Amino acid sequence: MHKLLNDDPGRKTLLLGNDAIARGAIEAGVAVTSTYPGTPSSEISLSFFQASQESDLYFEYSVNEKVALEVSAAAANSGLRSMSVMKHVGLNVASDVLMTLAYLGVKSGLVILTADDPLMFSSQNEQDNRYYGKLSGLPVLEPSSVEEAKEMVKSAFEISETLQEPVLFRTTTRINHSTAVVEYGELQERKTKGYFVKDPENMVAVPAVARNLHVKLLENIKKAAALSNESPFNFISGAGRLGIICNGVSYGYASDALDELGVSDQIKVLRIGFSNPMPDRLIKDFLKTCDKVLIIEEGEPVMEEAVKAFAQEEKLTLPINGKGEGLFSRLFEYDPTLVKTCIAKYFDFPYTATTHLDLSNIPEIPVRPPTLCAGCSHRSVYYEVKQAAAGMDVIYPSDIGCYTLGYLPPLSMTDFVICMGASTGTSCGFSVATDQKVVSFIGDSTFFHSGISGLINAVFNKHNFTLVILDNRITAMTGHQPNPGVDMTEMNFDGYDQIQIEDLVKSLGVQHIAVTNPYNIKKSIATIKDALEFKGVSVIIARKKCTLYAQSLKQLPDRAFYVSDKCQNHRNCIDEIACPAFYLDGEKVQINSDLCVGCATCSQICPEKAILPLKKQKS
């Protein structure tokens, strides 16, 4: 049985934050779950997916976050506890649903998980999604630890049902990807079949109805503020006339700092876990017992601005600071030493930080950036497009996925990246605004997610560019999740259909479509050249299964290559495609046969034809 389905209350186990969140939802009897994968939230969905194979829990990989939230919104309004999981920028995609769903509300609990990524370990921005709570008027919960995350998810469903509103559950990477000991609770029974009761006065957001619904939402925000003031997730610890107000992981850093500075009897901490609406009464009372307050929150000064406004309402003039000069930043993530240093500095406690090592005589260490895997077909496609477009002045808009790594030298085939799906829309704009050639790249999953609408736009408005769809048959970057183009039978899953990208593109009216095998270099270059010459919208579907995915399906050919004595050291292989299977043995190029997957790309571009398949089978 899947570990998160264990009916074993009291059991203590080590869980990744994301698994603790999934377990919390399962303990709460969640029935319908949906997602579009995105780091750092992806493991929550993976656990739901696995658990759904062994239980009556419904889970789906939706085509994008907007659809995911629509699925859950309908289920929650049919009486089923539901949850949608996404990374922070995913909520931008779902925000159109979010804003008006707040007007409609829900009949059963709906929790929307948004995983923020301070420092951008794997994201294109570090937006602070607490603002979505303010923007939509929905309650926001924020855990400070892995074990609290599990309990808080359960409460989130209850709060959602009390208020009849969705609840935003906001994590940061250091909650999602931390591991701690979690105690299992009781499994609540799952109600898996709902019934939709028609209620047009509340469920149909036309202007006449929406005017009433906005009134209802504002009343709900007041009710939510009352809950926030009473919430066990907003609590005070410690004592003294100095105060800290903090949230999320900062609470852990602050607690450790107070212990280590030995000042727990002089500084008290107000931890905010129910952060929208802010607990106004609780905060005002707290301020009245403090001489000086420090706000510790990663990201934007959301709490700081609210707390300062509360102080003004109470005519309190005590110093309140957070993101001020010499204190905390709006940038990146915090760490224990930073928090300790700022606390000591602001409240004037002695603290000498550990002396850092003098690293001035350390030689420069070569960087180790993530790279496209050995034999990754994206590398072959980039090489082919570069050859086909030789001599042209080309703009290469690209998109979000493993292939974004093509911006690194020596490939350097990425000029413009914003967000999921933007390659197609921006290509429209570049083709209008310039006379430069436009060739853009998008992965299969991202194309389904939101790239398709830009392509429809391009056909309708008669734009002029070539779109290369890098169809590696899976959502690779986030860990091999399915998308509508995936053949699910290969993974032994039934109950799924499959959408052919070429049929879809053809049906949109694209006049020039070709499918290539990226491992066939010469033929691909010729096919891409034809597409580049076509005036109008042309689409190349470069199709080859992700090597890691193929490996997991045991579909990789058992064939590595080696560099023979014919090698004249031209190094086209290293200088132009830079596959990580190459290494230098002195001055001689060699291939690591454990890494080589036999794609034969290098052997086709070697001017001496010196790269040959190993006769011997790989061990």
- Residues lying near other proteins in the complex (CB under 8 A) are found at 12-14, 39-40, 121-122, 144-146, 174, 177-181, 249, 251-253, 255-256, 259, 335-338, 353-359, 361-373, 402, 405, 409-410, 548, 574-575, 578, 580, 582-584
The nearest distance, CB 361 to other proteins, in angstroms, is: 7
Distance between CA atoms of 149 and 146, rounded to whole angstroms? 5
Query: Are the C-beta atoms of residues 121 and 76 closer than 8 Å to each other?
Result: no
Query: Are the C-beta atoms of residues 386 and 413 closer than 8 Å to each other?
Result: yes
The nearest distance, CB 327 to other proteins, in angstroms, is: 17
Q: Closest CB to other proteins among 391 and 586?
A: 586
The nearest distance, CB 180 to other proteins, in angstroms, is: 5
Distance between CA atoms of 357 and 56, rounded to whole angstroms? 55
Query: Are the C-beta atoms of residues 82 and 180 closer than 8 Å to each other?
Result: no
Distance between CA atoms of 63 and 450, rounded to whole angstroms? 9
Q: Closest CB to other proteins among 173 and 423?
A: 173
The nearest distance, CB 212 to other proteins, in angstroms, is: 45
- Please enumerate in sequence order all residues whose Cβ is within 8 A of that of 411, keeping only pairs 6 or more positions apart, or say none: 379, 382, 383, 386, 577, 578
Query: Are the C-beta atoms of residues 270 and 234 closer than 8 Å to each other?
Result: yes
Q: Closest CB to other proteins among 326 and 370?
A: 370
Q: How many CA atoms lie within 13 A of 141 on its CB side?
A: 29
- Please enumerate in sequence order all residues whose Cβ is within 8 A of that of 38, keeping only pairs 6 or more positions apart, or say none: 65, 86, 87, 89, 90, 115, 478
What is the CB neighbour count within 10 angstroms for residue 197? Answer: 10
Structure tokens at 434: 């310039």
Residue 202: burial class (beta carbons within 10 Å; 0-12, 13-18, 19+): middle
Q: Closest CB to other proteins among 14 and 309?
A: 14
- Please enumerate in sequence order all residues whose Cβ is within 8 A of that of 265, keeping only pairs 6 or more positions apart, or say none: 238, 239, 240
Structure tokens at 72: 């859950």
Q: Closest CB to other proteins among 259 and 533?
A: 259
Distance between CA atoms of 497 and 477, rounded to whole angstroms? 22
Q: Closest CB to other proteins among 1 and 392?
A: 1
Cα dihedral across residues 484, 490, 496, 498: positive or negative:
positive
Query: Are the C-beta atoms of residues 105 and 214 closer than 8 Å to each other?
Result: no
Compute the C-alpha angle 165/114/170, nearest 5°.
Answer: 75
Q: Closest CB to other proteins among 212 and 412?
A: 412
Q: Strand pairing of 292-296 and 242-247?
A: parallel
For 259-270, give the DSSP string: HHHT-TTTEEEE
| 108: β partners | none
Residue appearing with tokens 């990789």 = 556
The nearest distance, CB 368 to other proteins, in angstroms, is: 4
Query: Are the C-beta atoms of residues 299 and 173 closer than 8 Å to each other?
Result: no
Q: Closest CB to other proteins among 216 and 570?
A: 570
Query: Are the C-beta atoms of residues 561 and 375 closer than 8 Å to each other?
Result: no
The nearest distance, CB 563 to other proteins, in angstroms, is: 13
Backbone angles phi, psi at 313, to 5 degrees: -60, -30
What is the CB neighbour count within 10 angstroms for residue 362? Answer: 8
Compute the C-alpha angle 408/412/413, nearest 5°.
Answer: 120
The nearest distance, CB 580 to other proteins, in angstroms, is: 5
> Measured between alpha carbons, how far apart are the two ends of the chain, in Å?
34
Query: Are the C-beta atoms of residues 439 and 389 closer than 8 Å to each other?
Result: yes
Distance between CA atoms of 497 and 504, rounded to whole angstroms? 14
The nearest distance, CB 488 to other proteins, in angstroms, is: 22
